[in-house]
Chains A and B, each alone.
Chain A
Amino acid sequence: GQQVMQIPQYQHVQEGEDFTTYCNSSTTLSNIQWYKQRPGGHPVFLIQLVKSGEVKKQKRLTFQFGEAKKNSSLHITATQTTDVGTYFCGGGSTLGRLYFGRGTQLTVWP
């Protein structure tokens, strides 16, 4: 079955440092979606990537989708304490299902 692997599982950074999380799938994905979950909250949609090699930016966040549509990354430049949370990637299949990686829990020290 489809598997989505995400690394690292935890990341601790000082405010102002950069952060990157990586997502890899065993199969080609129809799309990839990124979500953020604040402590005690529910996952909230950040962005969806559909095209091979696609790069999208949201302020300090940069999302990439690999050429083979099997991997993706989320990079945050100059982290802030508001970036704290767990970031999940979800790999979409043609059947509408979304399989998530285990998430990367980001802690930011002030």
Chain B
Amino acid sequence: DAGITQSPRYKITETGRQVTLMCHQTWSHSYMFWYRQDLGHGLRLIYYSAAADITDKGEVPDGYVVSRSKTENFPLTLESATRSQTSVYFCASSEGNSPLHFGNGTRLTVT
């Protein structure tokens, strides 16, 4: 959907480096989410945010940090990347229990 964009689309980084994945939405949705997708595990929730300055952990938050100073942005930071964080990362937004709108994803490889 054109209303939610993720950057970069592809990223290769080395173990131990910090990397930030960006997510921007233009709908002013209250909720934003970060999921990671790995073969055999489906979509797993990393962090979510119900509004600006409100964030909470999902199923697999370890090793990740998020912030939401503005409603439209929800960056995800890997403070010290590990190989196990190689994955496809999807950002999504919604209003409460309404459907999620996903971005196109970021394919991250940690070498």
Chain A interfacial positions (CB closer than 8 Å to B): 1, 6, 9, 30-31, 33, 35, 41-45, 48, 88, 90, 92, 95-103
Contacts and interface: CB of A to CB of B under 8 A. Distances in A.
Contacts of A48: 97-99
B105 A100 contact: no
Interface of B: 31, 33, 35, 40-45, 48, 50, 58-59, 90, 94, 96-105
Nearest to A102: B42
B59 to A, nearest CB: 7
Nearest to B91: A42
Contacts of A1: 59
B21 to A, nearest CB: 14
Given A1-B59, A42-B103, A90-B100, A96 B31 contact: yes
Contacts of B45: 97-100
A26 to B, nearest CB: 13
Contact of A88 (B42, B59, B94, B98): B42
A30 B97 CA distance: 8
A94 to B, nearest CB: 8
A1 B44 CA distance: 13
Nearest to B105: A42
A64 B57 CA distance: 30
Given A43-B102, A100-B35, 9 more contacts: A30-B97, A31-B97, A90-B100, A96-B31, A96-B50, A97-B48, A100-B44, A102-B41, A103-B43
24 contacts: A9-B40, A31-B97, A33-B99, A33-B100, A42-B90, A42-B102, A42-B103, A42-B105, A43-B90, A43-B102, A45-B99, A45-B101, A48-B97, A48-B99, A92-B97, A95-B50, A96-B31, A96-B94, A96-B96, A99-B45, A102-B40, A102-B42, A103-B42, A103-B43
